[in-house]
């Protein structure tokens, strides 16, 4: 799978934003296996860009293509198929089920299209240091723990693209590196691309291309 | 591996109101019960009102008379049926067969111990055996037999009993009556007479006369009157459906009327039908109201689970799969509610048939197929409307 953007700009941004951005108003193609880093200060539209790519919001001008297919023509069922097979996302606002345990939050994603066996949940939680929280309700977990749950959840399915929207905002350096290492391994195992949007450059993300939003 | 709904189900139960759900379940059950009972009672009424129609071998048998206009009442000939009338009736596609009720052409008197102690005038009639609902095996007569078997109307029997009371004699039961031998005196043209013994062969709720075997009637008319009957006051019609509109219209056009003397519910028919039709409509309204209440409950479930459902769709769950499973969840409840209502209807029908109607043969202790058909239709309708509603509500979440 490849993702292509053509002359993309949020509807609520002025046209002038195109001249100061390497993303807005450009024509870009993201291929499998690439590690794309997008750096931008707050308010420049990182989350909007990720939402547009994932098909969560349609309030943009220009076009986004999955394999030459304009996603504006996608139905809810088409998106459901892509989201369970080809594209995964770690949202900045995490979006976990607060009343469900850590394990249940991850399992509900895993069972949708299992890339890993169930045991892998415990294994990954151990690697990211949240194994002892497996049966705790997410509402009782810290933001850092919840962020790691959201990362593991995104790794439970097959994907060609992993979209990361400030995935380490609540993590310290050490835990961020552990999480990055895990995502790197998982993406390489799938030959997948990562599109990583953050406030600043991160040295331990092995980027192949860098864009300023 | 198939996708399990179990983890999703627990996400949709959080914080939903149980009271409104139970209220809608109870409402639905009461409405459906009322609807089923009304349908069943309408069927019961139809069956009871067919009580004046003999049904045998898949055919209805009804008797008809000619209407007597007031100004021609004295023209007796106008009130009779003739062979040409019978032939014309037989030609109609909705009439399978016609048989006349043949009357004695001579004078007849009867003597019954304890009832008619002096000879009393009587008339006898005969009808083709295939037109009689139940023909007793001993309802036969051959020339030379001195005993005539009679089938007598139950109403006549009641009259006999009333006369017996007024004459100071004991009353008789149908069982006792079959042991009593009456005398039938047949008078010929030249005041000659022959006396026969007569025994009650059977009592009929439906045939409003005193019937003798056809063979006796033919022989007696020839012997005592020297002729066979050439005209008839009543005819019996054999038809596939006595309520057939074509038949009714035809009879009305010909100025014939169906003999409804035996219709015990005749006057109450439109009233009873009206009451139960009204109840059926009321039941249907309750069902609609309960389904609306249930749809509000469903909307509440979806509204309260909005965030969870949205997140599931964001994660890649198919809205179609979610909708299918969400609506499927209520199917066992619908089936259970309809089965409970059906069971109660069955119980009421059984009680109505055995306890109130004393197991009348026209009725059945089991619910009619129309009630079962209504149950299946209702189930299918509920499932479809439920599915459509969930689909619509989920589409709004996308």
The string of DSSP codes covering B154-179 is HHHHHHHHHHHHHTTPPP--HHHHTT
The answer, yes or no, to whether residue A154 has pLDDT greater than 50, is: yes
d(CA A152, CA A156): 7
Tell me the pLDDT tens digit for each residue of B316-343: 999 999 888 888 888 888 899 999 999 9
Residue B1 in contact with partner chain A when CB distance is under 8 A: yes
> DSSP labels for B79-117?
GSEEHHHHHHHHHSTT--EEEE-EE-SSEEEEEETTTEE
Nearest CA in chain A to B308: A97
The answer, yes or no, to whether residue B51 has pLDDT greater than 70, is: no
Predicted-complex ipTM score? 0.93
Q: How many residues does chain A have?
A: 213
Contacts of residue A89 in chain B, CB cutoff 8 Å? 314
Of the candidates B231, B164, B223, the one whose C-alpha atom is nearest the C-alpha of residue B196 is: B223
Per-residue confidence at B32, pLDDT binned at 50, 70, 90?
confident
Residue range A169-193: average pLDDT? 94
> Greatest CA span in chain A, whole angstroms?
51
Which pLDDT belongs to residue B264? Answer: 41
Chain B closest CA to A55's CA: distance in Å? 9
Contacts of B301 (CB under 8 A, 6+ apart): B12, B16
Tell me the pLDDT tens digit for each residue of B92-106: 998 999 999 999 988
Q: Tell me which of B316, B318, B320 to substitute to probe the interface with A (most A C-beta atoms closer than 10 Å).
A: B316
Contacts of residue B11 in chain A, CB cutoff 8 Å? 97, 99-100, 108
Highest mean pLDDT among A161-165, B199-203, B231-235 belongs to: A161-165
Which pLDDT belongs to residue B265? Answer: 43
The answer, yes or no, to whether residue A1 has pLDDT greater than 80, is: yes
Q: Of the candidates A76, A97, A107, which has its C-beta nearest B398's C-beta?
A: A76
Of the candidates B53, B33, B60, B49, the one whose C-alpha atom is nearest the C-alpha of residue B367 is: B33
User: Which residues of A, range 102-131, sit inside 8 Å of B by Cβ?
Assistant: 104, 107-109, 111-114
For A25-39, A101-115, A156-170, B206-220, which range has the lowest pLDDT when averaged over its residues?
Answer: B206-220
Contact of A127 with A178, CB cutoff 8 Å: yes
Which pLDDT belongs to residue B331? Answer: 85
Q: Do A112 and B395 touch (CB under 8 A)?
A: no
Q: How many residues does chain B have?
A: 398
The answer, yes or no, to whether residue B170 has pLDDT greater than 70, is: no
Instruction: Between B386 and A191, name the one with better pLDDT.
Output: A191
The answer, yes or no, to whether residue A121 has pLDDT greater than 90, is: yes
Contact of B314 with A77, CB cutoff 8 Å: no
| Long-range contacts, stretch B368-376, CB < 8 angstroms, 24+ apart | B368/B39, B368/B40, B368/B43, B370/B39, B370/B43, B371/B36, B371/B39, B371/B40, B371/B43, B371/B342, B371/B345, B372/B342, B374/B35, B374/B36, B374/B39, B375/B32, B375/B36, B375/B338, B375/B341, B375/B342
Per-residue confidence at A55, pLDDT binned at 50, 70, 90?
very high
- Helix, strand, coil percent values for chain A (each to nearest 5): 40, 20, 40
- Residues A12, A18, A19, A21: is their CA dihedral positive or negative? positive
| Long-range contacts, stretch B4-8, CB < 8 angstroms, 24+ apart | B4/A111, B5/B325, B5/B329, B7/A100, B7/A104, B7/A107, B7/A108, B7/A111, B8/A108, B8/B312, B8/B317, B8/B322, B8/B325
Q: Do B316 and A84 touch (CB under 8 A)?
A: yes
Which pLDDT belongs to residue A48? Answer: 94
Which pLDDT belongs to residue B206? Answer: 66
Highest mean pLDDT among A146-150, B283-287, B373-377 belongs to: A146-150
For A5-14, A58-67, A141-150, B129-138, which range has the lowest pLDDT when averaged over its residues?
Answer: B129-138
Q: Do B11 and A97 touch (CB under 8 A)?
A: yes
The answer, yes or no, to whether residue B261 has pLDDT greater than 50, is: no
Contacts of B254 (CB under 8 A, 6+ apart): none
Residue A83 in contact with partner chain B when CB distance is under 8 A: yes
Q: How does B128-142 read in b/e, with b if 16+ C-beta sit within 10 Å?
A: eeebbeebeeebebe
Backbone φ, ψ for residue B358 (5° rounding) = 50, 50
Chain A closest CA to B10's CA: distance in Å? 9
Residue B392 in contact with partner chain A when CB distance is under 8 A: no
Backbone φ, ψ for residue B182 (5° rounding) = -95, 170
Residue A56 in contact with partner chain B when CB distance is under 8 A: yes
Helix (H) or strand (E) holding A90: strand A87-90
Which pLDDT belongs to residue B153? Answer: 79
Contacts of residue A83 in chain B, CB cutoff 8 Å? 314-316
Highest mean pLDDT among A40-54, B56-70, B153-167, B262-276 belongs to: A40-54
The answer, yes or no, to whether residue A18 has pLDDT greater than 70, is: yes
For A43-47, B150-154, B297-301, which range has the lowest pLDDT when averaged over its residues?
Answer: B297-301
Helix (H) or strand (E) holding B142: none
Contact of B152 with B204, CB cutoff 8 Å: yes
> B6 exposed, middle or buried (CB, 10 Å; 0-12, 13-18, 19+)?
exposed
Residue range A148-156: average pLDDT? 96
The answer, yes or no, to whether residue A66 has pLDDT greater than 90, is: yes
Which pLDDT belongs to residue B263? Answer: 39
């Amino acid at each position: 799978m490849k993702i292509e953007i053509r002359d993309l700009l949020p509807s609520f941004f002025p046209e002038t934003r195109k001249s100061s951005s390497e993303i807005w108003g450009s024509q870009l193609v993201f291929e499998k296996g690439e590690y794309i880093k997008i750096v931008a200060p707050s308010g420049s539209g990182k989350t909007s860009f990720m939402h547009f790519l994932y098909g969560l919001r349609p309030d943009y001008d220009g076009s986004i293509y999955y394999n030459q297919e304009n996603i504006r023509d996608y139905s809810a069922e088409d998106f459901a198929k892509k989201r369970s097979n080809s594209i995964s996302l770690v949202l900045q606002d995490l979006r976990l089920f607060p009343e469900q345990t850590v394990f249940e939050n991850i399992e509900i994603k895993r069972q949708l299209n299992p890339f890993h066996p169930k045991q892998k949940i415990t294994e990954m939680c151990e690697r990211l240091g949240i194994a002892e929280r497996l049966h705790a309700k997410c509402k009782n977990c810290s933001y850092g723990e919840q962020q790691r749950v959201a990362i593991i959840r995104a790794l439970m399915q097959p994907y060609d693209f992993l979209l990361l929207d400030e995935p380490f905002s609540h993590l310290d350096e050490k835990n961020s590196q552990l999480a990055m290492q895990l995502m790197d391994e998982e993406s390489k195992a799938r030959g997948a691309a990562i599109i990583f949007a953050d406030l600043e450059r991160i040295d331990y993300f092995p980027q192949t291309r860098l864009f300023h939003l | 591996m198939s996708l399990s709904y179990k983890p999703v189900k627990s996400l949709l139960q959080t914080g939903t109101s149980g009271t409104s759900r139970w209220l809608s379940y109870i409402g639905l059950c009461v409405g459906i019960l009322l609807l089923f009972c009304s349908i069943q009672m309408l069927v019961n009424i139809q069956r009871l009102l067919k009580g004046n129609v003999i049904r045998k071998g898949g055919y209805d048998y009804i008797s008809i008379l000619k209407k007597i206009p007031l100004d021609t009442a004295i023209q007796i000939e106008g009130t009779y049926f003739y062979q040409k009338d019978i032939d014309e009736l037989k030609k109609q596609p909705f009439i399978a067969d016609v048989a006349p009720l043949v009357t004695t052409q001579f004078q007849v008197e009867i003597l019954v111990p304890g009832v008619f102690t002096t000879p009393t005038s009587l008339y006898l009639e005969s009808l083709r055996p295939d037109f009689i609902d139940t023909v007793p095996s001993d309802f036969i007569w051959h020339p030379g037999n001195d005993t005539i078997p009679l089938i007598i109307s139950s109403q006549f029997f009641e009259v006999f009993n009333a006369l017996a009371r007024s004459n100071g004699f004991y009353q008789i039961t149908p069982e006792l009556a079959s042991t009593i031998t009456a005398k039938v005196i047949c008078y010929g043209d030249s005041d000659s007479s022959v006396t026969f013994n007569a025994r009650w062969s059977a009592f009929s709720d439906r045939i409003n006369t005193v019937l003798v075997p056809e063979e006796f009637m033919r022989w007696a008319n020839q012997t005592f009157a020297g002729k066979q009957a050439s005209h008839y006051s009543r005819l019996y019609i054999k038809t596939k459906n006595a309520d057939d509109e074509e038949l009714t219209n035809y009879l009305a056009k010909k100025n014939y009327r169906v003999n409804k003397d035996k219709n015990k519910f005749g006057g109450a028919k439109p009233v009873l039908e009206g009451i139960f039709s009204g109840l059926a409509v009321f039941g249907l309204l309750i069902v609609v109201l309960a389904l609306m209440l249930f749809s509000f409950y469903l909307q509440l479930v979806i509204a309260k689970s909005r965030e969870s459902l949205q997140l599931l769709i964001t994660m890649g769950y198919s809205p179609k799969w979610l909708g299918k499973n969400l609506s499927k969840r209520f199917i066992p409840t619908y089936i259970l509610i309809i089965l409970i209502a059906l069971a109660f209807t069955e119980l009421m029908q059984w009680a109505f048939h055995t306890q109130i109607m004393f197991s009348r043969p026209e009725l059945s202790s089991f619910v009619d197929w129309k009630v079962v058909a209504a149950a299946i239709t209702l189930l299918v309708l509920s499932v479809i409307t439920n599915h459509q509603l969930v689909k619509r509500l989920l589409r709004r979440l996308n």
